[in-house]
């Protein structure tokens, strides 16, 4: 009876599994699972794929901007700006040194009056049997249109005299009165000559 009891206890001791040793037990933080997803580290909260793509795009844009700025700086460095040449000072005529407009106007009136006198004397001479020798005035000699046609020359000379008054050359500014004065003298001489012809006939 005792022998049977000892054999039964030995059999139970061999069949019972040995208790696991504390030294050989895995640590609670170590995972031995065969799940492939359990081994991957968990993603940090708040960081998404869109955020990572935006960071990549911003880095690319920054590099592109840096390249563009470097190219622009290189292209600007090749531009050559010509040196500015000093402008030649223009001669300004003071108001005190400029010829009087009143004198020019008086000579213009005298010139046009002398031209009208020449036209009148020409009409008188032609009515007395004389002939017009000026080829420019001959088509208007027998009509009142000669009074308007003969004023074309004085208008041109008035304009020339006015331009001479404002010229930058001192010689022209001093002799601006010559065209009008010479024209007035010629018209007066021609008018007197025409009246003499009219009186002879």
Provide the token pair at 105: 């106007």
Q: Which residue would you say has higher pLDDT here, 161 or 25?
A: 161
Confidence of residue 133 (pLDDT cuts 50, 70, 90): confident
| Pairwise pLDDT comparison (134 vs 162), residue with the higher score | 162
Largest CA distance in the chain: 198
pLDDT in tens, 24-53: 444 444 444 444 444 444 444 444 555 555
The 10s digit of each residue's pLDDT in 163-174 is: 999 999 999 999
pLDDT at 164: 94
Tens digit of each residue's pLDDT (9 = 90 or more) over 86-116: 666 555 554 444 567 899 999 999 999 999 9
pTM: 0.52
* Token pair listed for 173: 């500014």
Listed ranges 15-29, 130-144, 147-161; the one with the highest mean pLDDT? 147-161
The tokens of 86 are what?
């000093």
Contact (CB, 8 A) for 132 and 126? yes
CA distances 99 to 102, 158, 178, 180, 182, Å, are: 9, 14, 13, 14, 18
- pLDDT tens-digit readout, 51-86: 555 555 555 555 545 555 555 555 555 666 666 666
Q: Which residue has the higher pLDDT, 122 or 11?
A: 122
């Amino acid at each position: 009876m005792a022998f049977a009891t000892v054999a039964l206890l030995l059999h139970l001791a061999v069949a019972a599994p040995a208790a696991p040793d504390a030294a050989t037990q895995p640590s609670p933080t170590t995972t031995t699972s065969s799940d492939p997803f359990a081994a991957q580290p968990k993603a940090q909260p708040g960081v998404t794929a869109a955020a990572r793509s935006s960071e990549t795009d911003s880095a690319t844009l920054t590099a592109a901007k840096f390249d563009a700025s470097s190219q622009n700086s290189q292209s600007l460095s090749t531009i050559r700006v010509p040196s500015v040449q000093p402008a030649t000072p223009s001669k300004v005529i003071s108001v005190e040194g400029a010829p009087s407009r009143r004198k020019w106007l008086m000579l213009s009136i005298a010139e046009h009056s002398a031209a009208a006198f020449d036209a009148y004397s020409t009409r008188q001479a032609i009515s007395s049997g004389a002939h017009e020798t000026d080829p420019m005035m001959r088509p208007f000699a027998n009509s009142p249109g000669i009074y308007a046609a003969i004023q074309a020359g004085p208008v041109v000379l008035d304009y020339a005299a006015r331009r001479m008054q404002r010229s930058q050359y001192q010689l022209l500014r001093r002799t601006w009165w010559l065209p009008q004065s010479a024209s007035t003298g010629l018209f007066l001489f021609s008018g007197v000559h025409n009246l003499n012809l009219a009186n002879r006939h």
